[in-house]
Chains A and B, each alone.
Chain A
Amino acid sequence: MSMEILTPGLLSTIQDFGRFGYQASGFAPTGAADSLSMKKANALVGNDPGEAVIEMMLLGVTARFNTPCVIALTGADMMPKVNGGEVENGAAIRIARGDVLELSGTRDGMGCYLAVSGGFDLPLVMGSRSTGLRFGVGGFNGRKIMRGDVLKLRAPVPDLPDLPRRRLTTLPVFGKHVVLRTVPGPQDYMFSESELEGFFSHPYSVTNATDRMGIRLEGEPIVPKKSSDIISDGTAFGAIQVPTGGQPIILMADRQTTGGYAKIATVITADLPRAAQMRPGCTVRFMPVTVDEAQDILAIENKAFEEEYRLLNGVYPSGS
């Protein structure tokens, strides 16, 4: 009951919702960069929404399954093939013993998510199966997936009821131009009105120096009133840090838990999946919203996902 990695892709890691409760000790929470795609992949194969999946950045894996199971791929399209024949994204795929899944590179978006029915047989480390790359904890031996790795499957299900019906109603298009909604702050007061206006009106482009820790942007520099240094404070997923030099960085899943630069605004949770799918060369604009608006948007999106999950699986697991 396993899958064997024949080629590992560029950066393929095991991720779930992330490891919480340990940030006070310096553990980055990690977790899926685009948690919505992860949840959808799991929904398609009948898993809990937060079951661990393989996140693949820019280039996917080739893998042989040594057991029958059902898989699903969501997020960026990696033109999946099984035994050389094209298969669909955003749909449940039945896998027979010995089948080879082959993924390519992505042209739209960054990350593709692979869920396997019944999940991976990996230990929970501090409550999570997410890979903490910087400190070698969790996931598959605390590291990215490499050629020859054999990932055990926990409880593979060879078939699911109504398999052909298990497909997403819409597939995502990530695009080259993205608008992200943000809540200003926590250190927006360190910037003048005109600098804030500039931040919310100029486009920024995503640079190559972008990884699971942060998305480095380039554009019109944002200059703080005095300096950008603050006494180090805690960081949140999506916080937009403005270091000296004025080029913003969106802090992502593998961010450091604390940081010493002013954070001008924070991307709303509902838009983080789209932020995570921005690839180098994309342009992004930021739009201000209030906390209440952001929480209303998130509630609507969560409800929409729950409904989609119920349509596929009947009941929505409590606590998810």
Chain B
Amino acid sequence: MTDFSIRAVGDSAVTVEFGTGIDPAVNAKVHALRSLLSEEGVPGITDMIPTFCSLLICYDPGVIRFGEICGKIRRVAEGNLASAAAPSRTFLISVCYGGDYGEDLPYVAEHAGISEREVIRRHSAPDYLIYMLGFLPGFSYLGGMDPVLETPRLSQPRQLIPAGSVGIGGSQTGLYPLDSPGGWRLIGRSPVRPYDPRRKEPILYRAGDKIRFVPIDEREYRKIEAAVKAGSYECPYLEGGKRR
């Protein structure tokens, strides 16, 4: 039995809350409920937004009313959400660290009191959980960065950060899916595009998947960049221990 609460968000959405902390176990329940509800194909549900510890469910009250949708959600959420966890994939995102690709790498190293090489080693070691996507298409909120790498944001955000930039902002890390202003410290850049409207699945990954950063050199960067431009690059990922 899972603890959760359902709250009305106006007349066309409800939020299901599983806790009030950033915790992989809580987040897993959010994604499990989302996949169970999509599998069941509840008529009237128009969209779902999974976040750290809650799931926003948008619905058409002309098809399903508030009381009915709450009953439906309760029946599904009271089941065993743990066993419903969707299989998670780990995307291998190639990153060229430092130099022109990550101009703040020296600052991050100095702030942490370690070498640049050690920053790269620690940043590319974990599998980061994608708790949620938001802010911009494909912008991932990742959990699991080594606390040694925590670096305060820039006091004055940059006007333009190129798509693919990998940065650190406070205790968070991630990559920019689009050219955008931003205040994160840039340590590298990936030629991989998490968001590409030309792809069948415009967004590479889903919330609940994981990301591992793989250090590459400039030559490899150019090679992948060319393949991405040509539309022939397929980002490798691990699923069930196998590389796909």
A residues whose Cβ falls under 8 Å from a Cβ of B: 20-27, 29, 125-126, 134-135, 137, 182-183, 185-186, 231-239, 256-258, 263, 266-269, 291-292, 294-295, 298-299, 302
Q: Which of A21, A29, A186 has the largest count of B CB atoms less than 10 A from its CB?
A: A186
- Report chain A residues within 8 Å CB of B13: 234, 236, 266
A295 and B7 contact, CB distance less than 8 A? no
Q: Which of B8, B202, B206 contacts A24 (CB 8 A)?
A: B206
CA distance A232 to B178 in the complex (A): 21
Q: Among the listed stretches B53-61, B89-97, B103-111, which one makes contact with chain A, having 4 or more residues with CB under 8 Å of it?
A: B53-61
Q: Which of B10, B53, B132 contacts A268 (CB 8 A)?
A: B10
Total B residues in contact with A, Cβ cutoff 8 Å: 46
Residue B88, interface by CB 8 Å: no
A231 and B10 contact, CB distance less than 8 A? no
B139 and A269 contact, CB distance less than 8 A? no
Identify 8 residue pairs between A and B in the complex whose beta-carbon atoms are under 8 Å apart, listed by A's number. Answer: A22-B137, A25-B138, A137-B137, A186-B8, A237-B10, A269-B12, A291-B11, A292-B66
Residue B167, interface by CB 8 Å: no
B9 and A236 contact, CB distance less than 8 A? yes
CA distance A267 to B8 in the complex (A): 12
CA distance A257 to B203 in the complex (A): 15
Q: Among the listed stretches B14-22, B78-86, B116-124, B182-190, which one makes contact with chain A, having 4 or more residues with CB under 8 Å of it?
A: B14-22
B132 and A232 contact, CB distance less than 8 A? yes
B residues whose Cβ falls under 8 Å from a Cβ of A: 7-13, 15, 20-22, 34, 46-56, 58, 61-62, 65-67, 132-139, 141, 177-178, 195, 197, 202-203, 206-207
- Report chain B residues within 8 Å CB of A268: 10-11
A235 and B56 contact, CB distance less than 8 A? yes
Name the residue on A nearest B11 (C-beta).
A294
B138 and A26 contact, CB distance less than 8 A? yes
CA distance A238 to B7 in the complex (A): 16
B136 and A24 contact, CB distance less than 8 A? no
- Report chain A residues within 8 Å CB of B133: 24-26, 257
A291 and B66 contact, CB distance less than 8 A? yes
A183 and B10 contact, CB distance less than 8 A? yes
A21 and B8 contact, CB distance less than 8 A? no
Having A26-B135, A26-B139, A183-B9, one finds 9 other A-B pairs with CB under 8 Å, namely A22-B137, A26-B203, A29-B47, A234-B15, A236-B13, A237-B12, A268-B10, A291-B10, A295-B66
